[in-house]
Amino acid sequence: MHKLYTFGKYLRNKFKTNIKKVPISIPGFTCPNIDGKIARGGCVFCENESFSPNFQKEKLTLNLNSKTNPLLKKQIKALKNQFFNTTETYEKIYKSKKYIVYFQSWTNTYAPFDTLKTLYETALSLPNVIGLSIGTRTDSITDKTLQYLKNLSEKYEIWIEYGIQSSNDKTLKKINRGHDFANVQKTIKKTKNLGLNVCAHLIFGLPGEKQEDMLKSVKDTIDLHIDSIKFHPLYVTDNTLLAIEYKKGRFIPISEEDYIDTLIKAIKMLPENVSIQRMTAGSKNLLAPDWCKDKATQMSHIHKALQKAGIKL
């Protein structure tokens, strides 16, 4: 019988206590696929200012030294406020004792090194924080940042979360990703050679992909010797290029049945040492599909499918 190895189990086995990831969204961060360095508009599923004149976002001047950056104080304040607001809730609900600060939104290594260093070290100085998890792209992290994170990992639990989405170059071009899979392979190999923990993100239901394409992405990602993985269905939200395609009838979201079937097959492919951090996702600003609206219902259906497939929870 295949046994589900969750990230929570990994943390409990390693630290012998209840640890939660605290998601943080830092104002001022952006993406090279939005600001024009690589492309404009971001990935087709990305909600950003290119599709919404009312989208509120601070502009981060990338060549501005952090010591004179007027935005940095605001970023630090946002980091602390979000952390304390979240941990107050986590302590009540989960009885959490320790935390990993998760830099979640946007590309959290795409900024001047001094800015990154200040924000990361501020996060690590917060009460009961044992580490960081940093969401980013494989084309947006420097050797200097990687070496710095390797040094931090000697004392803290450090994870880098790379959005891979697909290993199919045609799909990556179709979704306006801005890089190919060779870039993913190169960067993750470099990251793993430094001994850093890698969590990979994959999306099922990308335009034009069949199940065989999705499962090939799983295999190709496993071959990179990742440590953890997140699975997401592709859903449609407002203020995205995908929303335009959906409204014109040119994109049909993956069904819940097909998503869960693909997910179960993907989980069975995972080596025993690769933990799962996410099995599905949704959004408050959802256009489609309807089944992504209720996370609790999604998880109930997934758990039933896991049990039916002989995967022990």
CA geometry: angle 114, 87, 282, nearest 5 deg: 90
Q: What is the DSSP string of 158-181?
A: EEEEEEEE-S-HHHHHHTT-SS-H
Q: How far apart are CA 139 and CA 141, in angstroms?
A: 6
| Coil vs helix vs strand at 231 | strand
Give the range among 65-69, 183-187, 284-288 with minimum mean pLDDT.
65-69
Q: Which pLDDT does position 114 carry in this prediction?
A: 93
Nearest in space to 20 (alpha carbons), one of 77, 80, 92, 75: 92
pLDDT score recorded for residue 61? 42
Indicate the number of domains in the chain: 1
Residue-wise pLDDT for 213-269, tens only, equals 999 999 999 999 999 999 999 999 988 999 999 999 999 999 999 999 999 999 999
Coil/strand/helix, residue 215: helix
- What CATH number did the domain enclosing 234 receive? 3.80.30.30
d(CA 311, CA 313): 6
What does the pLDDT read at residue 140? 96
State the pLDDT confidence band at 286, using cuts at 50, 70 and 90: very high
Residue 143: the pLDDT is 98
Q: How far is CA 189 from the centre of its chain?
A: 18
Q: Is the pLDDT of residue 95 over 90?
A: no
In the numeric block, the tokens 């060779």 are attached to 182
pLDDT at 285: 84
Whole-number Cα distances in Å, 55 to 47, 195, 214, 235: 9, 38, 32, 19
For the ranges 61-75, 149-163, 203-217, which has the lowest average pLDDT?
Answer: 61-75
pLDDT digits (tens, 9 = 90+) for 119-145: 999 999 999 999 999 999 999 999 999
Torsion of CA 22, 289, 205, 271, to 10 degrees: 40
CA distance 89 to 141: 32
Indicate the range of 56-60, 203-207, 294-298, 306-310 predicted with least confidence.
56-60
Task: Please count the residues of the chain.
Answer: 313
How large is the average pLDDT for residues 168-173? 97
- pLDDT band (50, 70, 90) for residue 63: very low
Q: What is the mean pLDDT of residues 38-49?
A: 78
Q: Where are the beta strands (DSSP E) in the chain?
A: 2-3, 19-24, 98-103, 129-136, 157-165, 197-204, 228-233, 236-237, 275-278, 286-288, 311-312
Question: CA–CA separation, 47 vs 242, rounded Å?
Answer: 9
Q: What is the pLDDT of residue 48?
A: 59
The range of the structural domain enclosing residue 142 comes to 2-312
Of residues 61 and 74, more confidence is placed in: 74
Helix (H) or strand (E) holding 81: helix 70-94
Q: How high is the pLDDT of residue 245?
A: 94
pTM of the entire predicted model: 0.93
Residue 13 has pLDDT above 90, yes or no: yes
Lowest-confidence region among 13-27, 38-52, 80-94:
38-52
Residue 54: its pLDDT value, please? 39
pLDDT for residue 107 is more than 50? yes
Q: Express the helix, strand and coil content of the chain in percent, nearest 5 each.
A: 40, 20, 40
Q: Is the pLDDT of residue 305 over 60?
A: yes
- Which is it for the CA torsion 119, 240, 35, 180, positive or negative? positive
Q: What does the mean pLDDT of the chain come to?
A: 91
What number is the average pLDDT over the span 169-184? 96
Sign of the dihedral defined by the CA atoms of residues 171, 166, 135, 160, in that order: negative
User: How far is it, in rounded angstroms, from Cα 112 to Cα 60?
Assistant: 10
